[in-house]
Amino acid sequence: MPCMTANTSLRNRFGARVRELRKATTGLSQEAFADKCGFVRSYMGKIETGKANPSLDSIQTIADALGVPVKTLFEEDGAEGAPSVQD
């Protein structure tokens, strides 16, 4: 069961980071950002709350919409060079 807990924790941290970057870099609502990504709002909500497990393509789409490299979505506290989110 520890692996499932680690995966849930990773999804929660990833989602929180997406939400943080969405608000800081775009100022868009969740619905407007979902539209920009080509997602429905409910899917974006699930990503941001750690309830969805986005595909690599979805992660790339989110990074592109935010104007950041994919790796930025896995950095903690928004610090450049911060340790990657790893489990």
pLDDT at 81: 43
pLDDT at 76: 81
In terms of residue numbers, what domain contains 41? 2-74
Tens of each residue's pLDDT in the chain, 87 residues: 566 677 889 999 999 999 999 999 999 999 999 999 999 999 999 999 999 999 999 999 999 999 999 999 999 864 544 444 443
Q: Which CATH number characterizes residue 23's domain? A: 1.10.260.40
Residue 85 located in a structural domain: no
**Number of structural domains in the chain:** 1
Which residues, at least 6 apart from 47, have a Cβ–Cβ distance to it below 8 Å? 14, 15, 18, 39, 54, 58, 62
Tokens representing residue 84 in the block: 């990657």
Q: What is the pTM of this model?
A: 0.82
Task: Report how far apart, in Å, the C-alpha atoms of 30 and of each of 8, 57, 63, 87 are.
Answer: 21, 19, 15, 27
Cα 70 to the center of its chain, rounded Å: 10
Residue 79 located in a structural domain: no
